[in-house]
Amino acid sequence: MTAAIVATGISRTYDLDGVSVPALRGVSLTIEPGDYLAIVGTSGSGKSTLMHLLGGLDRPTGGTLLIGGRDVAGLTPGEMAKLRNETIGFVFQSFHLLARTTARDNVALPLVYRGIGRRERRARATEMLDRVGLSHRVDHRPNQMSGGEQQRVAIARALVTDPSVLLADEPTGNLDSATGQSVLALLESLNAEGVAVVLVTHDREVAARAHRQIVMKDGVIVPDPSSAAVAQ
């Protein structure tokens, strides 16, 4: 089975006012189908830069990155967008839901870019909301839902395209501990069904629930003395 994402020696350097700033320096990492990985690090460690690259939101300035078996270096912006839509689901700390739009239509939004008709979009969105336990909230807007419910809507939106990888950036960061635990339990149940989950977090307790962890520091993966399961 083909690996979902393969990064080989990838780097990312930003040009800030004529000064080259390396954010990522030679990182190699493989995400297998059904993987459950936590990327851990403090602010400025490079973990968010790595997530953006793994999700196809940015491209490396060095090394090779394969997403769904395709080398992103040779893809046009349109091809990159299509690859993201077909391969990656995103869950963000701040939910990023459309405020005046119902849960069902928020979830259906990624299907618009696939050219899927309205009736099928809404049917698939309703099914996905039921999957995350929100069948009773399909017609509610974000301001009518709790933070945990909004995050579940965001997870449903990420899953509606049937991605091979779910990237979650601090998915519990804006939630209280009990709600955060329920969101993590949902992600883990989805992982048990075969969805690869990659969590980006600074919270070691959250990271400890993953099957494996990598620790980022100064743009590289470093050994983690607190875990015997660190990928290098």
In a domain, 15, yes or no: no
How many structural domains comprise the chain? Answer: 1
Per residue in 17-45, pLDDT tens?
889 999 999 999 999 999 999 999 988 89
The domain that contains 141 carries what CATH number?
3.40.50.300
Give me the domain span that covers residue 84.
Answer: 34-45+76-222
Residue 118 in domain: yes
Is residue 96, in this structure, part of any structural domain at all? yes
Say if 22 falls within a structural domain: no
Query: Quick check: is 90 in a domain?
Result: yes
Q: How confident is the prediction for the chain on average, in pLDDT?
A: 91
Question: Is position 126 within any domain?
Answer: yes
| Residue 228: φ, ψ to 5° | -90, 0
Kindly tell me the burial class for residue 190, based on how many C-beta atoms sit within 10 Å of its own C-beta (0-12, 13-18, 19 or more).
buried
Residue 141: pLDDT band with limits 50, 70, 90:
very high
Q: Is residue 93 part of a domain?
A: yes
Q: Could you tell me the pLDDT band of residue 1, with boundaries at 50, 70 and 90?
A: low
- ∠ CA 77-74-67, nearest 5°, is 80
The answer to the question of residue 27 being in a domain is no
pLDDT in tens, 87-127: 999 998 888 999 999 999 999 999 998 889 999 999 999 99
Phi, psi of 67 (to 5 degrees): -120, 120
The string of pLDDT tens digits covering residues 82-95 is: 999 889 999 988 88
